[in-house]
């Protein structure tokens, strides 16, 4: 079956959003007096949109907010790291990479969701292939950079004397390049394999369970992605545990020393480093809270312990939207934890105001 028979092009999103079109809001199809049931082959009947089409404008506003906040928050985070000497530590290259990966995830998911909600149709075949390649790849990349960030924190806290010699700019560049290849290779193979298969095989690539649920990989490539993520999460956990044990050990050592100015200065420097560690730990905790529900539901659906129906599809879409907050939660945490970030944010806002004022005067 040709994919072009399944998907149709979306209507003009800009025209709809600014109410410049008379096209009626599309609603899920129905074969009787009530809305038809949710199925894998009818994503327009699934999720919040399928249950309550009247919430379409609200869903569009939510996804537009996710996109704008991700661009703005991560952009400010990148600006803070690029303009502040205190945040130019080598390990923060991985933090910058995480911000870029979060922006990529938002750009891949939000526009497609908005377009599908406006048109009332699933995404096109081409966008679905692109999403199946970029979505799991960007998620893997974010996890890889988080692993690299925690390894750098581990080396800095536990082995400070060898940190400069071990964590070099060249090794970080090699690690980041390797992360990109490892993260995007499995979904690339999956998309190429299913694109060349043709016929009914390519249909399995584009079966999201709702208008805002992305296309994803399956089969062996999905298993490889899962193994990679589990290994990386294991490395993160090891580094976190070692850093926290070292922090406790160092705190006891400082407390047992005779009070002196040198020890006070050392204690203050240690507190500054541990604030960075705790900030990263908060971001990991927030990300885990947003990831776990959608991963649990997805795993139960894949294992057959859950069957896709109207209520399950609604919860799946709700938790998927919760999961998307991870694309900007890091910037929110940094906004609360660091004056450096807030200062960069205020400078950016002032520059934007200046540009707007200059434009108005012209």
CATH assignment at residue 357: 1.20.1070.10
As a whole number, the mean pLDDT across the chain is: 76
Confidence of residue 86 (pLDDT cuts 50, 70, 90): low
Summarize the confidence of residues 185-210 as an average pLDDT.
Answer: 66
Residue 254: predicted pLDDT: 56
The per-residue pLDDT for 260 is 53
49 in a structural domain: yes
Pick the range with the lowest mean pLDDT from 40-44, 198-202, 244-248. 198-202
| Mean pLDDT confidence for 10-14 | 32
- Asked if pLDDT for residue 201 goes beyond 50, the answer is no
Residue 31 within a domain: no
Owning domain of residue 250: 3-24+38-205+219-361
How many Å apart are CA 72 and CA 52, to the nearest integer? 30
Evaluate whether 215 touches 131 at the Cβ level (below 8 Å): yes
Residue 243's nearest CA partner among 286, 276, 269 is: 276
d(C-alpha 27, C-alpha 236), whole Å: 45
Angle at 143 between CA 140 and CA 146, to 5 degrees: 150
- Residue 32: the pLDDT is 36
pLDDT at 186 over 60: yes
Measured in degrees and rounded to the nearest 5, phi and psi for residue 306 equal -120, 145
Max mean pLDDT among 185-189, 245-249, 262-266 falls in: 185-189
| 199 assigned to some structural domain | yes
Does residue 213 fall inside a structural domain?
no
Whether 210 is in a domain gets the answer: no
In a domain, 214, yes or no: no
Domain contains 212: no
pLDDT score of 157 more than 60: yes
Which of 192, 15, 179 has the alpha carbon at shortest distance from 97? 179
In the chain, the number of structural domains is 1
82 inside domain: yes
């Amino acid at each position: 079956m040709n994919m072009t028979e399944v998907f149709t092009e979306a209507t003009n999103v800009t025209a709809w959003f600014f109410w410049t079109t008379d096209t009626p809001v599309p609603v899920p199809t129905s074969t009787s007096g009530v809305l038809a049931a949710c199925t894998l082959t009818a994503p327009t009947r699934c999720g919040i949109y399928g249950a309550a089409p009247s919430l379409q404008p609200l869903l569009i506003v939510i996804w537009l907010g996710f996109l704008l906040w991700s661009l703005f928050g991560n952009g400010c985070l990148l600006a803070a790291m690029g303009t502040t000497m205190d945040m130019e530590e080598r390990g923060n290259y991985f933090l910058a990479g995480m911000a870029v990966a979060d922006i990529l995830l938002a750009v891949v998911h939000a526009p497609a969701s908005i377009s599908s909600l406006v048109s009332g149709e699933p995404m096109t075949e081409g966008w679905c292939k692109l999403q199946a390649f970029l979505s799991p790849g960007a998620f893997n990349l974010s996890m890889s950079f988080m692993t690299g960030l925690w390894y750098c924190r581990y080396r800095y806290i536990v082995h400070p004397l060898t940190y400069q010699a071990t964590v070099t700019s060249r090794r970080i560049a090699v690690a980041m390049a390797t992360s990109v290849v490892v993260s995007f290779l499995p979904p690339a193979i999956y998309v190429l394999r299913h694109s060349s298969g043709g016929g009914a095989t390519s249909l399995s690539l584009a079966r999201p369970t709702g208008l805002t649920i992305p296309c994803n990989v399956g089969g062996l490539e999905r298993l490889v992605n899962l193994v990679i993520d589990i290994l990386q999460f294991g490395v993160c956990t090891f580094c976190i545990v070692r850093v926290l044990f070292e922090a406790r050990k160092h705190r006891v050592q400082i407390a047992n020393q005779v009070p002196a100015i040198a020890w006070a200065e050392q204690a203050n420097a240690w507190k500054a480093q541990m604030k960075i560690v705790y900030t990263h730990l908060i971001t990991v905790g927030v990300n885990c809270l947003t990831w776990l529900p959608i991963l649990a539901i997805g795993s139960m659906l894949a294992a057959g312990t859950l069957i896709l129906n109207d209520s399950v599809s609604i919860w799946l879409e709700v938790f998927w939207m919760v999961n998307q907050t991870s694309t900007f939660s890091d910037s929110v945490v940094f906004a609360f934890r660091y004056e450096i970030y807030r200062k960069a944010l205020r400078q950016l806002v002032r520059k934007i105001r200046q540009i707007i004022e200059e434009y108005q005067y012209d």
